[in-house]
Amino acid sequence: MCGIFACHKHPKVHEFKPQALQLAKAIRHRGPDWSGNIIANDTILVHERLSIVGIDSGAQPLVNKEGTLFLAVNGEIYNHRILRKQLGDKAEFLTHSDCEVILHLYKEHDINTPKLLDGMFSFVLYDKENDRTIAARDPIGVTTFYQGWSSENPSAVYFASELKCLHPVCDKIISFPPGHVYDSATGKTTRYHDPTWWEPTRVPSNPVDYKLIRNTLEKAVRKRLMAEVPYGVLLSGGLDSSLIASIAARETARAKAMGKLAVENGQIAPQHKLVGIDENDDYSTITALPELHSFSIGLVGSPDTIAAKKVADYLGTVHHEFNFTLEEGLDALRDVIYHLETYDVTTIRASTPMYLLSRKIKAQGVKMVLSGEGSDEVYGGYLYFVNAPNKEEFHAETVGRIKNLHLADCLRANKSTSAWGVEARVPFLDKEFLEVSMNIDPAEKEIKNGRMEKYILRQAFDTTNEPDVEPYLPAEILWRQKEQFSDGVGYGWIDILKDTAAKMVTDEQLANPKPEWGTDIPDSKEAYWYRCMFDEQFPAQCASTVMRWTPKWSNQTDPSGRAIATHVAKYESAV
């Protein structure tokens, strides 16, 4: 992940530059490798870079040959090699950056450029000749992105990867909507992403195709191996991260074999990097990659670390298991909230161990990791889905959860890792995989008739009846019950959070929330505690970007999986 800050039409842009650089410095953790900035007319772009692709020549902001277009991007464009080939002689590339294609696509496709991109991204592009800025965010909001305005400078519009850049200068801030593009020429923000599954009332009826699910997820992982730096996988031992790890291990082995063969045949030089796939869905340049590294974290003896070790042993990854103590988790809470920029209970619970793990990963010299976010939203994997009254409401809830991922799990994955200069990539949110998975009859996804959650995803990777295919995972992992990450790292983690909050917040405080909170009132002492820590670090205009989540179809307000009656280790029996 990189960090971007931009301001279009600042009335005193040169005087503003020192402050702009300081504001961008607040997100240097996202991009510790280099800093760059450009002023053109009354617009300034600032970029904090984490170099993963085009590391030798991809410093930003990027500029076209004519010096008329300027671009700052946070993210990765997985189909950049395909787009480069399609552009052909019409584009003269000056760098090896995957993001440079955006500059050349803009010349031909204007505001429709984001539609052509396959990746995770937020970008601000300035067209000097037309004094025009366009800004866009990837379809699901895997990368964080915000937009702000200042009553002191009403002509200006601001953009940044995190709130902490904007609140010192903006009194109105929004979370930039995923799948949308802003055009300063009209002042409008319009949706460019129009998938077939967008309307929740359109209930699909396609039968499940297990092979197609498997093939598209494998392709999604393959795309996300695009890197010129060491990478790894986050491995909780649950179904989602274990499947991603299994596919990544297979693809890494395949790439090593192909790279070795290509070197032996003199087709490529040994130093060539794996930087993407081509139009034939194959590796375009290969390197003999090192062994795949996997990372897990939990309290000593936690369910996830035990399961993760089994998966790592099975896959043969170089596994790194880290433990944290309850005290270490509590000590990190304020910093976690600072980086997350939210007070949502479930996000903070799950982000704390992920934040601690990301620091360990960074210390290992790894810059990019694959992660399993998104599967539960797509397949209705959260245990509360067992209470869905019918398939129509089941489907509508999956659509709604995906649309709000940028305020929940995507925000968690992005900010927990980028706090330490690590990039998380999420194959389950691949556009093609979503098209396949969200067009399956939701009756196939329902948790009933003896089927456990995410049955069809598990079945897609069950090779019991395929003797020629090596199993992806041991059966005990493939068919392991869902553990939400904040539970799986150790049941004592949530318990200590509840117990500590009970000591920090009085009954009187909970009964008398602060007037400035309006209708956004904490429903537990834990939620009250987090909101207070948020308010101590962020002004009121930041609260509008936060979404608090509780399970649907349940009397429980606690988002923990253990609060759902079907969980094997319910609260009353947890140890």
Active-site residue set: 2
| Listed residue (70, 67, 35) closest to 51, CA to CA | 35
What is the Cβ-side half-sphere exposure of residue 553, based on CA atoms within 13 angstroms? 16
Rounded to 5°, angle at Cα 219 from 216 and 221? 115
Position of tokens 């395909």?
82
Position of tokens 């087709």?
267
- Is 301 labelled a binding residue? no
Helix (H) / strand (E) containing 402: helix 391-403
Q: Is 472 helix (H, G, I), strand (E, B) or coil?
A: coil
| Listed residue (512, 517, 508, 572) closest to 548, CA to CA | 517
- First-residue to last-residue Cα distance in the chain: 38
Phi and psi for 73 in degrees, rounded to 5?
-130, 140
The 10 Å CB-count burial string (b at 16+, else e) for 205-233 is: eeebeeeebbbbbbbbbbbbbbbbbebbb
- Is 477 labelled a binding residue? no
Contact assessment for residue 6 and residue 24, using Cβ atoms and an 8 Å cutoff:
no
- How far is it, in rounded angstroms, from Cα 89 to Cα 405? 39
- How far is it, in rounded angstroms, from Cα 235 to Cα 307? 9
What would the two tokens of residue 542 be? Answer: 């930041």
Phi and psi for 391 in degrees, rounded to 5?
-70, -30
Would the CA dihedral through 336, 340, 341, 343 be positive or negative?
A: negative
Q: Is 105 helix (H, G, I), strand (E, B) or coil?
A: helix
Adjacent-strand bridge partners of 34:
49
- Is 372 labelled a binding residue? yes
- Is 284 labelled a binding residue? no
With a CB cutoff of 8 Å and minimum separation 6, the contacts of 529 are: 500, 501, 504, 505
- Is 371 labelled a binding residue? yes
- How far is it, in rounded angstroms, from Cα 414 to Cα 427? 14
Q: Torsion over CA of 506, 511, 512 and 517, rounded to 10 degrees? A: 100
One-letter amino acid at 406 equals H
| Listed residue (78, 92, 54, 193) closest to 137, CA to CA | 193
Please enumerate, by residue number, every residue annotated as part of a binding site for ATP: 234, 297, 371-372
